Chains A and B, each alone.
Chain A
Amino acid sequence: MIQNLLFDLFSFILLGSAAMVVTSRNPVHAVLFLILAFINAAALFLLAGAEFLAMVLVIVYVGAVAVLFLFVVMMLDVNFAVLREGFQRYAPIGALVALILFVELALFVTGSTIAPGAAAARLFPTPDNITNSQALGSLIYTNYLVLFQLSGIILLVAMIGAIVLTHRDRKRAKRQNLDIQHARLPVETLTMVSAKLGAGAAMPQPKKETL
């Protein structure tokens, strides 16, 4: 009973905040609603008994991806008038896409179960007496090890690509080199000069250029 109520609650908030993501005028509000939608999706995962997925969803999407997203959106200077100008022009295409999606959804909902035997045909049903993080771990690291490693390599390549594309060598930037600083001796930088009263003293030049 309580679980049904909670399911209704979380789904309502999820759908509501998802609607707000596309309708809210302020892009920062839109991202915050997206985060709310993520958290409610995680709660739905919890209700379905997938506690590991729920926590990973929060850690990865909410804790890392959405933070960077929010960062970017906050730094952008979005002009709402310009954004709304295109609305008239793209409205027919948007309506068409929405119609197709709606028809597909309607077919899906009215056509009851599309694959009745799906649950029975699952390749690896979760065993009873172990937690689902253990089940997931042993599956990924025994049966699908190569695929798992490959996806890791793909991510690595994507990361290197992003760095190569955006990295620029700023020649004028001053960098601190701790080794040089630590290796520096007082003799190289300090010179004691006794100045004559009223005459001053000529500044001796440092012996060698150090950072």
Chain B
Amino acid sequence: MSVFLQSNLGIAILTLLESLAIIVPLLLGVAYLTWFERKVMGAIQLRKGPNVVGPFGLWQPFADAIKMLFKETIFPAGADKVLFTIAPMITFGLAVVAWAVIPVNDHWAVANINVGILYLFAISSLGVYGIIIAGWASNSKYAFLGALRSAAQMVSYEVSMGFVIVTVLICVGSLNLNDIVLAQRHIWFAIPLLPLFVIFFISGLAETNRAPFDLAEGETEIVAGFFVEYSAMTFALFFLGEYANMILISAMTTTLFLGGWLSPIPFAPFTLIPGVFWFLLKILVCLFVFVWVRATLPRFRYDQIMSLGWKVFLPISLVWLVLTAGFLEIFGMLPHA
């Protein structure tokens, strides 16, 4: 058996199974995140949310999916058909492939690579292409405006996100996500690096084009932004991609700042609970904040988004990076690999 697992075919089959073990729960999670969001927003706005299809409206995501499948995909006149179809695939595909490196428990990742955090950063920086291509291929003014807005916004917030990640890396001394979590055994990075934690989370909201930074959609001004021309499954892929990206950003926040799979209460009965449980619980808390923010805050004005990114977050994260490096150097706490 072990010989078979070492062979090329064995490795291929094993990787396939591992990928399935990540993708299937992820898709279910995305489906039920839509249900979760509608329930939580319903509670915040004193409504009931979905409650007709199945007990507590639990079959609602499947009803929605079947409805989407039976609708017609409409190509707008003058659209670039190939790019128009590829764009939603890119958005959704990127949200899924990023999960290859996320450790859900100690050494439980499909690929435990040395440059894990750079891989995540690279994949999230590619996310903008799905939106730009969709906006351009639709051959529509509103879609193009939405695409331009979101491209500028995502590029801007990536800069400060990068500095936040670098600060965390200075404290860890490794680019490996497993090491990053293990470095938080004594204290989660959210506590000593609290301002950066806040910046990272808000930049995450901007990266995923979520409220209050959902200017790319802006339904009151540019109808629905970059996916105004999309219908049926192509629309559904964008929709699912947005939710998958929310889960991904929550997982990144959990890994970088909230101690990943580590138990928040470090003694006996709690440390016995498997790490996957704590990991999922932390992701759920982050997602709840995502929904909470959406139901509470009004949308930003475009120039305010830009000035927040470039004039507030970038200087703060830059100064905090230098301060952290100086502090660790003076007190001899720099990790030496």
Contact = CB atoms under 8 A, between A and B. Distances in A.
Interface stretch (B70-78, B120-128, B273-281): B120-128
B125 A59 contact: yes
Contact of A52 (B115, B136, B144): B115
Contacts of B132: 67, 70-71, 74
Contacts of A1: 8
B121 A59 contact: yes
B118 A52 contact: yes
Nearest to A68: B155
Contact of B118 (A55, A71, A74): A55
B180 to A, nearest CB: 14
A58 interface: yes
B45 interface: no
Given A55-B119, A133-B115, A63 B303 contact: no
A28 interface: yes
Contact of A131 (B114, B128, B148, B158): B114
B293 interface: no
Contacts of A131: 114-115, 175
A64 interface: yes
Contacts of A35: 129
B115 A51 contact: yes
A18 interface: no
Interface string B47-69: 00000000000000000000000
B133 interface: yes
B113 interface: yes
A55 B122 contact: yes
Contact of B122 (A58, A71, A74): A58
Contacts of B114: 51, 131, 133
A93 interface: no
B136 A130 contact: no
A139 to B, nearest CB: 15
Contacts of B113: 51
A23 interface: no
Interface in B14-29: none
B8 A2 contact: yes
Chain A, interface size category, equals: 20 to 34
Contact of A55 (B115, B136, B303): B115
A63 B144 CA distance: 19
Given A59-B125, A62-B125, A130-B337, A67 B155 contact: yes
A56 interface: yes
Interface string A53-78: 00110110011100110110010000
B125 A58 contact: yes
B133 A32 contact: yes
Interface residues of B, number: 25
Task: Determine chain A's interface SS by DSSP, over half rule.
Answer: helix
B306 interface: no
B122 A67 contact: no
A134 interface: yes
A176 interface: yes
A51 B122 CA distance: 12
Nearest to B122: A58
B147 to A, nearest CB: 8
A64 B125 contact: yes
Contacts of A133: 114-115, 175
B252 to A, nearest CB: 15
A1 B144 CA distance: 45
Interface in B82-141: 83, 113-115, 118-119, 121-122, 125-126, 128-129, 132-133, 136
A51 B121 CA distance: 14
Contacts of A28: 136
Nearest to B124: A63
Interface in B278-325: 303
A32 B83 CA distance: 10
Contacts of B155: 64, 67-68
Contacts of A68: 155
B151 A71 contact: yes
Nearest to B162: A59
A63 B158 contact: yes
Interface of B: 8, 12, 83, 113-115, 118-119, 121-122, 125-126, 128-129, 132-133, 136, 144, 148, 151, 155, 158, 175, 303, 337
5 contacts: A32-B133, A51-B113, A52-B115, A68-B155, A74-B132
Given A51-B113, A59-B125, 11 more contacts: A35-B129, A51-B114, A52-B115, A55-B119, A55-B122, A64-B155, A67-B129, A68-B155, A74-B136, A131-B114, A134-B337
